[in-house]
Amino acid sequence: MTKVAVIGCGVVGAMIAYELSLIPGLSVTVLDRQLPAQASTGAALGVLMGAISQKVKGRSWQLRQASMQRYETLVAELGHCVPYNRQGIVMLCFDESELLRWQNLIEIRQTQGWPIELWDVPKLRSRCPQIQHPDLVAAIYSPCDRQIDPTALTLALVEAAKQRGVRFEFDRPVLSIRSAENHAQQIVTASGNLSVNWVVVAAGLGSTELTRSLDAPLDIRPVLGQALKVQLPDAIGDAAFQPVITGDDVHLVPLGQHQYWIGATVELPDEAGVVAEASPDRLERVFEDAIAFCPALTEAKILQTWSGLRPRPHNQPAPVIGLLSGYDNVLLATGHYRNGVLLAPVTAAAVCEAIAAPAQQTA
Ligand SMILES: Cc1cc2nc3c(=O)[nH]c(=O)nc-3n(C[C@H](O)[C@H](O)[C@H](O)COP(=O)(O)OP(=O)(O)OC[C@H]3O[C@@H](n4cnc5c(N)ncnc54)[C@H](O)[C@@H]3O)c2cc1C
């Protein structure tokens, strides 16, 4: 058996564990210093910005497209137990000069098989009557994009992987990775070490320390995000059509029973990588921005506020997927920044591809 240790059980680590559990010949252990979905994943809104993103070619689009395709089969495989909004994403447009860019995207997506639509204001009013703003010029509707509950997804992946024989060790921080001749050999923890053939670093912000222990530190920095959950007294808009609505980078995410998530702030760290404390003022501004395009939210009662830290690679594009430089058995699956929920499936596929071929030879 090939021994694989996955460090981190956010959405990325859990997705990797689940996909690895489908490959014969592997013995997979996932270690996390907390319970699953407690770090960035626990704060995420799960908006899957695929076709509606401005990425049209190259790695960035390929990653998105592959993930969107996998989500459609994955949710069914997990038994439809994870809240998954299939009603698409409506993006509001307040600036006439952006319309040409959107027209171009619509043409490209048509050829790529991911149709999106440009709605004029009357059409937007008819489909989403809750949206009102004096500066609205149009909206872009992407029916193939989705939203998923990141915590429910992570927990469902853990359960499914467990049933297929993956071991999970929570509350077990990894202190370091021990190696010899640029080959990882052991995972070091306070309660004993684990011999490994492969290590997958899916530790989000914890990845920097872990890679430092291999003398190849990967600089991942925190970007603060704050969000809130609200309750409305009555339904807003058309109860049968409740897509995610995005205006000025603020998402309004329907949860059912007249509840919504609203967020999130994007608060970059300073030069040294130090992030500011979560401040109620910034969150208040996000709420006001949402009220500006959806005035019915003035009636909303705030049920919960929270913040989380997105893992952003410093001086390189997100995410970081592949072998750690200089090592032949340490795979990085980290630094997903704003799109870790979206890109978890394609990340897991890349990890499986790297591990599967050699594992099948030695099984
Ligand atoms: C407010 C907010 C909103 C967001 N909204 C979206 C969205 O709408 N769509 C989207 O796609 N993405 C969104 N994101 C981004 C997304 O949350 C992240 O990209 C994603 O969760 C990263 O997942 P991960 O598993 O890599 O990291 P994490 O969820 O941070 O998990 C890493 C895990 O590693 C563990 N760990 C770290 N170090 C160690 C160690 N030494 N030993 C053992 N365990 C360790 C941690 O305990 C943690 O459980 C949002 C993020 C925030 C903060």
Which residue's CA is the closest to the ligand 1 atom numbered 20? Answer: 340
For ligand 1, pick from 187, 224, 226, 341 the residue to mutate: most ligand atoms within 8 Å of CB.
Answer: 341
308 CB under 6 A from ligand 1? yes
Confidence of residue 361 (pLDDT cuts 50, 70, 90): low
pTM equals 0.97
- Cβ 308 vs Cβ 322: under 8 Å: no
pLDDT score recorded for residue 359: 55
Do residues 334 and 320 lie in contact, with contact meaning Cβ atoms separated by under 8 Å?
yes
> For the segment 11-24, what is each residue's pLDDT rounded down to a tens digit?
999 999 999 999 99
- Nearest of 286, 333, 336 to residue 19 by alpha carbon: 333
Residue 128 scores a pLDDT above 60: yes
Q: Residue 154: CB within 6 Å of ligand 1?
A: no
Backbone φ and ψ of 249, nearest 5° = 65, 20
The token pair that represents 117 in the structure block: 């639509």
CA of 342 to the centre of ligand 1 (A): 12
**Å from CA of 297 to ligand 1 middle:** 29
pLDDT digits (tens, 9 = 90+) for 129-156: 999 999 999 999 999 999 999 999 999 9
41 touches ligand 1 (CB under 6 Å): yes
Residue 14 Cα to ligand 1 middle (Å): 11
* Every domain of the chain and the residues it spans: 1-85+147-219+315-363
- pLDDT reported for residue 284: 96
**Ligand 1 centroid distance, CA of 336 (Å):** 8
Nearest to 249 by CA among 231, 262, 230: 262
- 182 sits in the region (left: phi over 0; alpha: psi -120 to 50; else beta) called left
Question: Which of the four pLDDT bands, split at 50, 70 and 90, describes residue 31?
Answer: very high
Mean pLDDT, rounded, for 332-351: 98
Separation of CA 218 and ligand 1 centre (Å): 16
How far is the C-alpha of 334 from the C-alpha of 337, rounded, in Å?
Answer: 9
Q: Which CATH class is domain 1-85+147-219+315-363?
A: alpha beta
Ligand 1 atom nearest residue 31's Cα: 43
Please state, in angstroms and rounded to a whole number, the distance separating the CA atoms of residues 119 and 92: 9
Please tell me if the CB atom of residue 227 comes closer than 6 angstroms to any atom of ligand 1. yes
191 CA from centroid of ligand 1 (Å): 25
Mean pLDDT score of the chain: 96
Q: How far does residue 50's CA lie from ligand 1's centre (Å)?
A: 19
Which atom of ligand 1 is nearest the CA belonging to 13? 25
Buried b (16+ CB within 10 A) or exposed e, 177-215: bebeeeebbbbebeeeebebbbbbbbbbbbbbbbbebbe
- 222 Cβ closer than 6 Å to some ligand 1 atom: no
In this structure, the residue with its CA closest to atom 22 of ligand 1 is 340
- Which strands make up the sheet holding 47-48, listed edge to edge? 47-48, 146-148, 84-85
- At residue 337, the pLDDT reads 98
